[in-house]
Chains A and B, each alone.
Chain A
Amino acid sequence: MSAALAAVPAAEGALPLVALVGNPNTGKTLLFNRLTGSNARVGNYPGITVERRVARGRLPGGLDVDMVDVPGAYSLSARSSEEQVAIRSLLGWGTPAPQLTVLVADATQLLRNLYLVLQVRELGLPCVVALNMMDEVQGPPPDHEGLSRLLGVPVVPVSARTRQGLGALQQAIVDALQAAAPPPLVLPYPPGVEQDIRAVAPVLAATWQVQGTRARALALWALTSLDDEDELRDIPAELREVVAARHRQAGERDLDQEIIAARYAWLDERAAPLAQGLGRRDLTDRIDAVLLHPVWGFAVFLGLMLVVFQSLFSWADPLIGVVETLVEGAVVLAHAVLPAGFLADLLIEGVIVGVGNVVVFLPQIMLLFLFVGVMEDSGYMARAAYLMDRVMKAMGLHGRAFVPMLSGYACAVPAIMATRTMERERDRLLTMLVVPLMTCSARLPVYTLIIAALFPPSELFGVLPVQGLMMMGMYLFSTVVALLAAGVLGRTVLRGPRVPLILELPPFRLPALGSVLRLMVSRARVFLTDAGTVILACTILLWGLLSYPKLPEPGPEATEAEVVAFEAQALEHSYAGRLGKAIEPAIAPLGFDWKIGVGLIGAFAAREVFVSTMGLVYGVGADVDEESVSLRERMQRERRADGSPLYTPLVGMSLMVFVALAAQCMSTLAAVKRESGGYKWPAFLFVYMTTLAWVSSFLVYQVGRLLGLG
């Protein structure tokens, strides 16, 4: 198991690596942005969905370094593989080991931040402490020289916001990279803990080949981290055994409390006198009096959410229109330039349309991240979570899940990307798994078509429009199902040890425009490069299914009616048509025939494609939209073998329920693949949603028939 401690060797000629580590909400990411150029490379830590951001920074003297922004942590102790990232990044377990650690501490909440600093200093890692947010300290500023003497490493006061002290910090990084590692801090622990350390250290020497004070610090890490329930990786069995034995022997003693209390006692005695200043909160408290008010707080919150929702729903439209026009232009141009044939078809119908299918999401993604960035950086996102936590908690969701859930009404793809605002993997996954159930805007054309074709305009009780009620009912239905699904999935598939919610309400700050833009661009880039490739591949695959094998084309003298009839035959002849027929026995109990099956297969590209596929299948041409009267009438005329109409209101209900619940959107699946870091969760999402859709439609159709509705 010694491999667990072996760092991934740095590539030849690689730059020195500097890790930025700190508590959440310390302005670490802004400092990272200030110290590096706009060239962050975003990847995942191996095996987990925690993002690893690395960017190049230039230091005084022309020294280039790679900086890695380690996810915020209150402590190095860990119980999940996600929390383990902090210590893995510092020691280089499975990731490159940094030459230097920059500990970012919030100068206005210094004592809690110094707890993490102490842990790193006990490990004896070379480090520099950046006292961030110096501009917000009220009262005496922290004595950074005194702290430096106490901790034995450089302590540099900075403000990432005002850029004050950045030069000094960069110089301190250069100096520390060239200096020898400072001796580790050795803290006094109660005699019982010292015995535990002495018992565990030899095992560390045998398994991880660590000695001396490093072994001492890792023994403390193991004693506070390991137990029967932890989900940590690469922990040798011998180490687990000795730690479990020490905990058993401890009896009445609470080892965690003894170790942590000893550290805080040390800090209280020596560091507290050097850090008396607090945060400036008077203005924040006054704003909070309104934003967290039982009435005004929710009014502002709902107003803001309305703006976010409206922007995704309609403001993005003109931009989406531009993208669509550009794609159409490219298609026309390609048709003109390329000789007709397989290659042209592949390039046009597969690649160009596929790229269009990817790019079309960018307006919504960038808009949503504009809002998310501003809300995060201003401190409002934490307030929104604080306000909504009580409601979201009931469904097992995090307070921060609200914004992604709401965005899901516009489109699941940006909403899934926005789950990043939650720190914990379980919270992110749960939100990702239920967001695709919300009524996104791509379902609207399908609902509109079905409602218009099958539910004639009429009023319930003489006043309530039936069509409007149906539409509202679908929204309500999807919301209820999504919340129920969250409750069920959170108690089954995503059940885990309960971890306390920890929320900080940082002071209100003006968001830094550059940082928000950077977030938008980086999210867009991640989507294009990762989810985009999957969407492109799926588009090409679907194109192949819908177009091959081909029938001989009608000659140029064919009338329009003949062409349309040919298109319908070609579709029936294609793989998708055959697939539709093959799945007919499976969808017949839902009231669907093979033609609807083909529409559902086509809808996998995007739900609204269902409408144009139905246009093709019914021989009214692909250029139909949900308002098309010809398609509507054609559907009303469609008969079953026994001569009864196929599209009864009951079949319409069954079809809408199916569209509401099925995971019929490859872009959503691609986004989940990107954000969850693998195919496991999108596969699960597809299976659970489609099963849910089938069972629900089955119940609607069969129960409806028993009641004599069909």
Chain B
Amino acid sequence: MSTPQEDLAPPRCPAVPTTAASAGDRTEPLPVSSTHLAALPLDQVAVVHSLGGQRAFRRRLLELGFVPGTPAVVRNVAPLGDPLEIEIRGCRVSIRRAEAEQVVVVAEPPAAGGGPR
């Protein structure tokens, strides 16, 4: 079964992220501007910081290119609020909100702009 680390609650919008919490967050402290992918406004570029959740799920997202350091954008939200369409490395993929909440991202300052599009 899952290790205690995998059972940790998903990192929900850590407003004061001073403690390293998630499974993927073992090396760097969380920057202040971090949030999760599901909380990101549409078309706002953010950089993947770490992935939480169970191993199978983390691995699959990593394989789809959700590697820490990669810019990602939410391009669309389904009318009923789920799933979300994400653009990453020039590819688009839709994942469910519960899963997007496990992807901790750091918003890029608007000035840095650009993004994958």
Assuming the A-B contacts A502-B64, A503-B94, are A288 and B76 also in contact, with contact meaning beta carbons closer than 8 angstroms in the complex? yes
Interface residues on B, range: 35 or more
CB-defined interface of B65-90 with A at 8 Å, one 1/0 digit per residue? 10110100000101111110100011
Assuming the A-B contacts A111-B91, A115-B65, A505-B94, are A256 and B78 also in contact, with contact meaning beta carbons closer than 8 angstroms in the complex? no
> Are B26 and A503 in touch, CB under 8 angstroms?
no
In the complex, A313 has a CB within 8 A of chain B: no
Assuming the A-B contacts A297-B79, A500-B99, are A386 and B61 also in contact, with contact meaning beta carbons closer than 8 angstroms in the complex? no
Chain A residues near B80 (CB-CB < 8 A): 387, 389-391
CB-defined interface of A226-259 with B at 8 Å, one 1/0 digit per residue? 0111000000000000000000000011101100
Q: How far is the CB of B1 from chain A (nearest CB, A)?
A: 7
Assuming the A-B contacts A292-B76, A501-B83, are A77 and B63 also in contact, with contact meaning beta carbons closer than 8 angstroms in the complex? yes
Assuming the A-B contacts A498-B57, A501-B99, are A254 and B94 also in contact, with contact meaning beta carbons closer than 8 angstroms in the complex? no
> Are B90 and A390 in touch, CB under 8 angstroms?
no
> Are A257 and B85 in touch, CB under 8 angstroms?
no
> Are A112 and B83 in touch, CB under 8 angstroms?
no
Chain B residues near A393 (CB-CB < 8 A): 82, 96
In the complex, A573 has a CB within 8 A of chain B: no
> Are A502 and B95 in touch, CB under 8 angstroms?
yes
> Are B90 and A278 in touch, CB under 8 angstroms?
yes
> Are B95 and A501 in touch, CB under 8 angstroms?
yes
Assuming the A-B contacts A278-B90, A390-B81, A501-B83, are A261 and B62 also in contact, with contact meaning beta carbons closer than 8 angstroms in the complex? yes
Among A254, A500, A504, the most chain B Cβ lie within 10 Å of the Cβ of A500
Chain B residues near A498 (CB-CB < 8 A): 54, 57
Q: How far is the CB of B114 from chain A (nearest CB, A)?
A: 14
Closest-by-CB residue of B relative to A272 is B89
In the complex, A109 has a CB within 8 A of chain B: yes
In the complex, B47 has a CB within 8 A of chain A: no
CA A389 to CA B96, docked complex, whole Å = 9
Q: How far is the CB of B49 from chain A (nearest CB, A)?
A: 12
CA A124 to CA B5, docked complex, whole Å = 36
> Are B95 and A264 in touch, CB under 8 angstroms?
no
Closest-by-CB residue of B relative to A390 is B80
Closest-by-CB residue of B relative to A296 is B79
Assuming the A-B contacts A77-B59, A112-B65, A393-B96, are A294 and B23 also in contact, with contact meaning beta carbons closer than 8 angstroms in the complex? no
Chain A residues near B68 (CB-CB < 8 A): 257, 261
Partner of A505 from the list B26, B81, B92, B95 (CB cut-off 8 Å) is B92
CA A393 to CA B96, docked complex, whole Å = 10
Assuming the A-B contacts A254-B24, A504-B94, are A260 and B89 also in contact, with contact meaning beta carbons closer than 8 angstroms in the complex? no
CA A260 to CA B27, docked complex, whole Å = 17
In the complex, B111 has a CB within 8 A of chain A: no
Residues 496-538 of A at the B interface (beta carbon under 8 Å): 497-505
> Are A79 and B78 in touch, CB under 8 angstroms?
no
CA A75 to CA B95, docked complex, whole Å = 17
Residues 91-106 of B at the A interface (beta carbon under 8 Å): 91-96, 99
Partner of B56 from the list A278, A293, A499 (CB cut-off 8 Å) is A499
Chain B residues near A77 (CB-CB < 8 A): 59, 63
Q: How far is the CB of B5 from chain A (nearest CB, A)?
A: 10
In the complex, A477 has a CB within 8 A of chain B: no
CB-defined interface of B30-62 with A at 8 Å, one 1/0 digit per residue? 000000000000000000000100111111111
Q: How far is the CB of B34 from chain A (nearest CB, A)?
A: 17
> Are A497 and B59 in touch, CB under 8 angstroms?
no
Closest-by-CB residue of B relative to A76 is B63
> Are B67 and A386 in touch, CB under 8 angstroms?
no
CA A539 to CA B24, docked complex, whole Å = 59
Q: How far is the CB of B110 from chain A (nearest CB, A)?
A: 22
Closest-by-CB residue of B relative to A252 is B26
> Are A74 and B56 in touch, CB under 8 angstroms?
no
Chain B residues near A221 (CB-CB < 8 A): none
Q: How far is the CB of A141 from chain B (nearest CB, A)?
A: 14
Chain A residues near B79 (CB-CB < 8 A): 292-294, 297-298, 387
Closest-by-CB residue of B relative to A391 is B80
Q: How far is the CB of A666 from chain B (nearest CB, A)?
A: 38
Closest-by-CB residue of A relative to B85 is A505
> Are B83 and A389 in touch, CB under 8 angstroms?
yes
> Are A112 and B64 in touch, CB under 8 angstroms?
yes
> Are A499 and B92 in touch, CB under 8 angstroms?
no
> Are B78 and A389 in touch, CB under 8 angstroms?
yes
CA A74 to CA B91, docked complex, whole Å = 13
In the complex, A664 has a CB within 8 A of chain B: no
Q: How far is the CB of B56 from chain A (nearest CB, A)?
A: 5
CA A497 to CA B1, docked complex, whole Å = 10
> Are B76 and A257 in touch, CB under 8 angstroms?
no
> Are B90 and A109 in touch, CB under 8 angstroms?
yes
CA A540 to CA B89, docked complex, whole Å = 59
> Are A111 and B65 in touch, CB under 8 angstroms?
yes
> Are A264 and B93 in touch, CB under 8 angstroms?
no
> Are A264 and B91 in touch, CB under 8 angstroms?
no
Residues 276-317 of A at the B interface (beta carbon under 8 Å): 278, 288, 292-294, 297-298
Assuming the A-B contacts A229-B1, A256-B55, A256-B58, are A386 and B64 also in contact, with contact meaning beta carbons closer than 8 angstroms in the complex? no
Q: How far is the CB of A174 from chain B (nearest CB, A)?
A: 32
Chain A residues near B62 (CB-CB < 8 A): 256-257, 260-261
Closest-by-CB residue of B relative to A275 is B90
In the complex, A224 has a CB within 8 A of chain B: yes
CA A115 to CA B93, docked complex, whole Å = 15
Assuming the A-B contacts A261-B68, A502-B60, are A111 and B90 also in contact, with contact meaning beta carbons closer than 8 angstroms in the complex? yes
Among B59, B61, B96, the most chain A Cβ lie within 10 Å of the Cβ of B59
> Are A112 and B91 in touch, CB under 8 angstroms?
yes
> Are A228 and B89 in touch, CB under 8 angstroms?
no
Chain B residues near A497 (CB-CB < 8 A): 54, 56
Instruction: Return 16 A-B CB contacts under 8 Å, by A number.
Output: A74-B60, A75-B60, A77-B63, A112-B64, A112-B89, A257-B51, A264-B70, A292-B78, A292-B79, A387-B79, A390-B81, A498-B57, A499-B56, A499-B60, A502-B94, A503-B83
Given contacts A256-B55, A390-B81, A499-B60, 8 further A-B contacts (CB under 8 A): A74-B60, A257-B51, A260-B67, A293-B79, A386-B83, A387-B79, A393-B82, A501-B83
| Cβ-closest 6 pairs across A and B | A390-B80, A503-B94, A294-B79, A109-B91, A260-B62, A75-B63
